[in-house]
Amino acid sequence: MKNTGLITCFFVLIHFAAISQEEKKPMPIIELEHYVDYYDTEKANVYSEGDFLLGKKHGTWIYNYPNGKKQEEANYTNGKLSGKLIYWFDNGQRQSEGYFKLIFQSGVLSSVRDSLYKEWYPNGNMAQKGSYAYDTKDGDWVFWFPEGDKWKESKFVNGLELSINCWDKDRNQSIKNGNGIQFDYWKSGPLRSRIAVQDSIFNGNAEYFYENSNPEMEGTLKGSLRNGIWKFYYEDGGKHKELAYNSGELDGPYKNWYPNEKLSVEGAYAKGLKTGEWIWYNSTGTKYMIGEFVAGRQHGHWTYYFENGKVEAEGDFRHDLREGEWKMYYKDGSNWKIGSYSADKKDGHWQVFFESGRLLQEGDYNMGKEDGEWMSWYENGQKKDQGTYKAGIMDGLWEGWFDNGKMNYTGKRVDGLKEGPWNYGYLNGKTREEGAYSKGLNDGDWKYYFQAGNIDYECHYTQGAKDGKCVYYYEHGAKMRQESYQMDRLDGKSLMWGPRQTLLSERNYRNGLPHGKVIDYDDDGKVISMSVYKNGVRQK
């Protein structure tokens, strides 16, 4: 972990100051922050050093290797590279040297490589030399082998390389006056590419190789652009892709293989866009997707498959959007979902099925949102839910049942929120709770019941908060506890009784805190303890 030392220096920058006849305004002082970053906690080895101006790199910045030798020297203006940029190898030899200039593009300040550029090998020999114009190689460039012999002379026009003269690794001239074969090599020595050149432009056969000397790709170049059939290979030599080009644009059949040599994709391009039927395969060789393209867009019938070969889904696309009826299936081939799309949104009647074939759910969509009556069922055929939607939101009467046909819930919704009286039931058909809602919140008197039918507790609510009296009961019907609330806070007297209706305690609250007497009794009604509180603080 590098440690950062931050040294702040102050410099006065000269600005023109507005001078009036009566007074002269002081020149502003802008603070430069000097920054030093270290490799070690002892701060003996500097990693980087430079200045920040208004939070952005400014001026000369130096970066070093861990051995203390300089790695990079860069110049910045307002956080952008500006001027000379130099890199060194860790042996101290210069690696590259170039220049950047600032330009405004669409009102934004940018930095681009410009002017002369030089690059060296670690042994100090020149590797390449030429010029950039607005970040693009431009004009005459010369390249050398690591041993110092010339490798290539090229001219760049608008970023396009024109090979003038070239030599192979045996120092035989392979291109002379713009005609011949251009050889390129990996730094480790093996051949990297072999390309035919005619009139200084790549024309004819082109071969590229991995560093292990296996072929990477091969094809024909015409005017430096790919043309005709091109073949691509995996690094182990196996087929990867085979595709056709016309003047650098994909045009014609396309195939792709998995590393196990099984076909992955097959289709065709026309003027750079997918066209006609395309098929995708799993690595086992079975199809998992097939469909039509028109001008690069999914258009026509599409089918998707499970790994077992059964159809997973099928339907039509129109200009990349699902349209018309679509069907989705379970792995055994039985129906899962059936419905229609309009402009890629669910529209019209939809049905969902259990794997057994029984109906699970059905209803209508309007432009991607549930609309109208919807129903769902248990797999035994018993109805589960029934209600209405309005533009994707539950609205109107909703009812639900258990799988034995007993009522689960019933009530109305308005704009998705529960409103008015609602009832909930147990599986045995008895009432579980009943009360009213206002905008989705409990409001008014609510009653809750045990499964046997006796009341469990009853409370009064205001806007979802307990407000007023709440009474809790034992399952045999006797009163157990009584409390008073004010908007979810205990307020007033709270009493608790034993199963035989013996008073066990009484407490007084205000704003949710004990306030007043707190008394506990034994089963015979005798006082066990008594204390007095004031606003939650015990007084005695």
Residue 343 has pLDDT above 50, yes or no: yes
> Cβ distance 37 to 66 under 8 Å?
no
Q: How far apart are CA 502 and CA 474, in angstroms?
A: 13
Grade residue 509 by pLDDT with cuts at 50, 70 and 90.
Answer: very high
Please report, for the chain, the start and end positions of each structural domain, with discontinuous segments joined by +.
1-113
Mean pLDDT of 95-122: 94
Q: What is the CA radius of gyration of the chain?
A: 41
pLDDT at residue number 10 = 32
Mean pLDDT of 456-463: 98
pLDDT at residue number 348 = 97
Least confident among 27-31, 150-154, 211-215: 27-31
CA distances from residue 294 to 116, 466, 505 in whole angstroms, order as listed: 48, 63, 81
Query: Diameter of the chain by CA atoms?
Result: 119
Model pTM score: 0.76
Residue 106 CB neighbour total at 10 angstroms: 5
DSSP per-residue letters across 187-222: TTSSEEEEEEEETTEEEEEEEEE-TTS-EEEEEEEE
pLDDT tens digit sequence for 168-195: 989 999 999 999 999 999 988 899 999 9
User: Who contacts 530 (Cβ-Cβ below 8 Å, separation ≥6)?
Assistant: 517, 518, 519, 520
Q: Which amino acid is at 324?
A: G
Q: How far apart are CA 193 and CA 181, in angstroms?
A: 10
Residue 16 has pLDDT above 50, yes or no: no
Nearest to 155 by CA among 175, 139, 179, 131: 139
Mean pLDDT of 349-370: 97
How many Cα atoms are found within 13 Å in the side-chain-facing hemisphere of 418?
19
- Angular region, 184: left φ>0, alpha ψ -120 to 50, beta rest: beta
Q: How far apart are CA 410 and CA 400, in angstroms?
A: 6
pLDDT tens digit sequence for 299-336: 999 999 999 999 999 999 999 999 999 999 999 999 99
Nearest to 218 by CA among 402, 435, 210: 210
User: Who contacts 316 (Cβ-Cβ below 8 Å, separation ≥6)?
Assistant: 300, 301, 302, 322, 323, 324, 325, 326
> Cβ distance 17 to 24 under 8 Å?
yes
The shares of helix, strand and coil residues in the chain, as percent rounded to the nearest 5, are 0, 70, 30
State phi, psi for 369 to the nearest 5 degrees.
-125, 140
Q: How far apart are CA 131 and CA 499, in angstroms?
A: 98
Residue 369 CB neighbour total at 10 angstroms: 15
Q: If you count them, how many residues does the chain have? A: 540
Q: How far apart are CA 498 and CA 487, in angstroms?
A: 27
Residue 22 has pLDDT above 60, yes or no: no
For a pLDDT cut of 90, what percent of the chain falls above it? 89
Residue 428 has pLDDT above 90, yes or no: yes
- In the numeric block, the tokens 């690591």 are attached to 146
